[in-house]
Amino acid sequence: MKFALLLGGFLGFVAIFATALAVGKNPSRALLEASMGSAIAGLLFRWWGMIWIRNVKQMLMEKQQAAIAAMAEAEERKKRDAKEMAS
């Protein structure tokens, strides 16, 4: 999460600072706006990162459950085949 927060803060600062200077604002005002943009972008990236990690964990859990179900089905099929061979 720290990485997402830092990355968002850096990107937000650079983007807003460059945009503010490009539209002709004085550097002190651009720095103030970039600081606020940095905080907001950092929090947004952190929020997005938490959602992304939660979805990755859910996907991995679903894959694990599918693998367990497939193994159980294979075991059941093996037992059924063994039973048919014995008959």
pTM: 0.71
Spatial neighbors of 57 by CB under 8 A, at least 6 apart, are: none
pLDDT at position 79 is 86
Domain boundaries along the sequence of the chain: 2-86
DSSP string, 20-66: HHHTT--HHHHHHHHHHHHHHHHHHHHHHHHHHHHHHHHHHHHHHHH
pLDDT at position 1 is 79
DSSP state of 87: -
What's the pLDDT tens digit per position in 18-64?
Answer: 999 999 999 999 999 999 999 999 999 999 999 999 999 999 999 99
